[in-house]
């Protein structure tokens, strides 16, 4: 993936990793379109970053995705990057019947959302030069945090889906990337000040360096996530799961 001169759409671009990457890519000389549900917040972010654009988009709503596809591709026929960043992470007590609603919401946002976005945008992107799809999984796709079972499951599914997508698009011009974050200091699960999580700016800097230095890499893995990503291959799965179970 080239780091500049792209036109990119980033879902979940109003906070956390999505906003952070949007700011980094914008500063690097890309045309960045952030997508989110709150028009007022989108307007505030765009006003603070001249040249950045926005669109109201709810990845839980197929009609919203259809409308966003029509609008973005008409305004930006050069669009060549889609980053599926929108996601939620909520705790679940599986002994409590109310956990089902959390599970359903998590699957709708974290799994159906990216699949619907891909269904809408892949036919457009395969006709572009130097196109990129970046799906965001998690280190927890590889060793689960028992406190958030459906989140882990959706991210494991995104990992698997991304591998299949990469194979199916292998003969096209589309590069398929998987961003695999560790715990990062964002509002997700209240981790903004969690000393066990990686500082956001450190994470963003390492990601941008990896993209620049290894443009052909399929997985974007900062050093801090590798203990999760390779736990099973290294024979450490049970130990890491036990560590996460104590959180």
Rounded CA-CA distance 174/170 in Å is 8
Rounded CA-CA distance 1/54 in Å is 22
What are 5's two structure tokens? 């001169």
Q: What is the mean pLDDT of residues 115-125?
A: 98
Res. 246 pLDDT band, cuts 50 70 90: confident
Q: Which pLDDT score, from 0 to 100, does residue 97 have?
A: 80
Res. 159 pLDDT band, cuts 50 70 90: very high
Q: What is the mean pLDDT of residues 103-122?
A: 98
pLDDT above 90 for 193: no
Q: Which pLDDT score, from 0 to 100, does residue 188 have?
A: 81
Query: Which residues share a beta bridge with 176?
Result: 133
Closest CA to 158 of 112, 91, 99: 112
pLDDT above 90 for 189: no
What are 172's two structure tokens? 């096209």
Q: Are 107 and 100 in contact (CB under 8 A)?
A: no
Q: Which pLDDT score, from 0 to 100, does residue 121 have?
A: 98
Choose the weakest-confidence range: 73-77, 87-91, 95-99. Answer: 95-99
pLDDT above 90 for 130: yes
Distances (CA, A) of 203 to 17, 181, 186, 212: 9, 8, 11, 14
H/E stretch holding 83: strand 81-84
Catalytic residue, from 25, 121, 151, 203: name it.
Answer: 151
* Boundaries of every domain in the chain: 7-245
Q: Which pLDDT score, from 0 to 100, does residue 91 have?
A: 94
Q: Which pLDDT score, from 0 to 100, does residue 192 have?
A: 81
Encode pLDDT of 41-54 as tens digits.
999 999 999 999 99
110 three-state secondary structure: helix
pLDDT above 80 for 88: yes
Q: Which pLDDT score, from 0 to 100, does residue 170 have?
A: 95
Q: Which pLDDT score, from 0 to 100, does residue 195 have?
A: 82
Closest CA to 158 of 9, 4, 6, 11: 11
Length of the chain: 247
Q: Is the CATH number of domain 7-245 3.90.870.30?
A: no
Rounded CA-CA distance 95/86 in Å is 28
Q: Which pLDDT score, from 0 to 100, does residue 194 have?
A: 82
Instruction: Mark whether 151 is an active-site residue.
Output: yes
Rounded CA-CA distance 41/36 in Å is 8
Helices (H), the chain: 16-27, 39-48, 62-75, 99-107, 113-125, 149-168, 200-213, 226-229, 237-245
Q: What is the mean pLDDT of residues 22-32?
A: 98
Rounded CA-CA distance 51/30 in Å is 9
Q: What is the mean pLDDT of residues 117-146?
A: 97
């Amino acid at each position: 993936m080239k780091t500049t001169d792209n036109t990119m759409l980033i879902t979940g671009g109003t906070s956390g990793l999505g906003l952070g990457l949007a700011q980094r890519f914008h500063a690097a000389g890309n045309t960045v379109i952030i997508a989110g549900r709150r028009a007022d917040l989108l307007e505030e972010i765009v006003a603070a970053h001249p040249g950045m654009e926005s669109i109201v988009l709810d990845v839980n709503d197929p009609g919203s995705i259809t409308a966003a596809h029509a609008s973005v591709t008409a305004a930006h026929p050069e669009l060549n990057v889609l980053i599926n960043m929108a996601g939620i992470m909520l705790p679940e007590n599986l002994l409590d019947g109310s956990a089902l609603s959390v599970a359903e919401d998590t699957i709708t946002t974290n799994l159906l959302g990216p699949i619907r976005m891909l269904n809408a945008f892949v036919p457009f992107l395969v006709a572009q030069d130097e196109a990129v799809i970046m799906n965001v999984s998690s280190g927890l796709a590889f060793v689960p945090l028992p406190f958030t079972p459906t989140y882990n499951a959706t991210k494991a599914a995104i990992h698997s889906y991304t591998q299949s997508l990469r194979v199916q698009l292998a003969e096209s011009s589309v590069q398929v990337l998987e961003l695999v974050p560790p715990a990062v200091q964002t509002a997700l699960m209240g981790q903004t000040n969690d000393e066990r999580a990686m500082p956001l700016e450190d994470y963003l800097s390492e990601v941008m360096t990896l993209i620049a230095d290894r443009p052909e890499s399929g997985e974007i893995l900062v050093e801090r996530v590798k203990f999760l990503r390779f736990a099973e291959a290294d024979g450490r799965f049970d130990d890491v799961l036990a560590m996460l179970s104590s959180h």
